[in-house]
Structure 1
Amino acid sequence: MAAGVVPASVTAYASSRLRFLGARLERARRRERVRACARFQPRTGERSSRVPRVFADAGSGSDVPASGSSKLPSQKIPPLYVKRTVRSSTVRHPGTIVVMGDVDAESSVIAGGDVFVWGSLRGSVIAGQGGDYKAKVSALDMRPSSLQIGSVKGNVKRGADGDPVLKASGVPETATVEPTSRQRLLVQPASAAAAELSRRADVGLAKSQRVTSAAVRRAAYFTGIYIAAAGVALMVAPDPVFSLLVFGVLCVAFGVYYFGTAYGDGKGLGARAFYLSTVVGRVFIFASFLFMVACGLFKEPGLLILGVINLLGALAMMFALSKKKTA
């Protein structure tokens, strides 16, 4: 037999052994896959708790039907994925709902679990409908018309004029139930990165709210000071006249408005500075009119009524400004 030549019988034997070992290896792999699947699949006759994910396509109806069994805990029910913007419709599901789009103001989302909106949330949303206080509502733009988690309802974001907020928040936010009291909802940035983004946005907003020209603030300071000074001069006149005295009080209040607004604007308070100034000015009007009537300078009951009206207005404004930013 020549050197380096392998007999044909040896080659055939080696090939058959390789095919045999390959077949055994393939059967072993199949058995391993079967055992792996058995750990996740129910036995024969049992009800499967793993249901394929449910998607609502863009062509589905306006009212998305619930899937799964409502008797199961919401954590074990597969999430419902709504791959469209919800417009003028209601989406219900006993588990978690994920909306891959916006939720318009005329729409509502009702879930037994969490609610995630990968877009703008402008409609009504209820999470944890079965009383799950640990449920969450998250959105890239959180501006719901109404918000409820479990049985806890939250206040809707409003602007300074009381109307719904029209500008997007620009920061992903998450609403949860306060764990201690379970009586109010907390809306916070969804993550540390979102919190930092929110902080930078607030700083930028405060800077943008300032009057760009310092000369305008100086003019407001000057106007407020001379109007207030004229009012004080009328109030301390040796021969007080009713009309001039009342006008002096109003001049001082107007001076407070000018001065306080300019000062607050320089601090980045924006319109809030004017509202705070009106509180101080109205309290001053009440105190001045009360002093006039109490000291017998002018026995005018209408003056006291006018002072009380200004006091009530100041208290209402102060209460509105002191409200915390909670949902």
Structure 2
Amino acid sequence: MTRAAGDETRRRVAIFTDETGWHTRKLKEALARRGFEGRCVDLEQCRFDTGAGPSGLVIPGFGRNLPLAGIVRGIAGGSLEQITKRLGVLHALRELGVPIYNDARAIERSVDKSMTSFLLHKAGVATPQAWAIEDAAQARRLLMRETAARRCLVLKPMFGSQGKGLQKVGWVSNEEGGDASGGQTVPLPDLKSVGGLAYLQRFIPQPESEQAPGFDWRVMVIGGRAVAAMKRVSPHWVRNVAQGARSVASPLLPALAQLAEAAAAALDMDYAGVDLVPDPASPLGAQVIEVNGVAAWRGLQKVTPFDIAQAIVDDLLARRLGVPLLVGAAGQVCQIGSGVTRSA
């Protein structure tokens, strides 16, 4: 599809989201600082229409044109058919030459926790052993073996997020960091209640107390580089900010950066929120438990001076669109040919 170089639509970037708020506002502001316009678009409202124009797609807010690029901020839940169509729109835009950040393939890899575990394992990234089993008898036999070894597993929804629906099964100690001899056996629920499939990940326990509650790390990776980190601190073993964990500033340790960058690369992501748990037995002192392809960063932004939204936009423009930056002697970062500047 041909678009004139001077057409104003060439400066419009679609922000795909099912809800607007803090994140979309920050992305719009970051785009505006570079001389581009961000327009929020719900993938639910996008449609295939092979008679509507050369592209065969209709993207609300863009008329017969296509966006210069797209940033995926959120995809609403729905039926298998609805999700397939929404991801199909992202696939189609890639086929039409529109860079999507992250594209549908990366999102599919990260949303499917079993594929995430497989790809991390394949790449040699430290991650807890995991299983995805549909056969209930096989799942029960696995749990019996793990329970006999006094191991705890975490049963997770295959497509869950924000720490919702997690359950401990197998040998669950009375205290997370306590003596493994004190605990109870928790059986698997009926697999029909969890979508007919058991995705199980071995639990990594941590010593903790009222004075020193447990934590994990969230590391943000943008353009292949770890840029910021925080601890998520909570007395509960589920340490998502959405579940009440506190965001605490944390240095971006070299080992954490190495693991997070390797995890994002394994899933071929433009940007990723990588969750890691401390593990003294692991060579780098931590293991990757999840890789988020549509990562929120509000909690992290509260505890770091690094401008995450601006970094996402700058990486999209420079690496995916070839729009370079110039750094002037006065510490100004200038978009070539735009006449737009911002403080570095």
**What's the TM-score once normalised by structure 2's chain length?**
0.22
Higher relative contact order (CA 8 A, sep 6+): 2
**Which of the pair has more CA radius of gyration?**
1
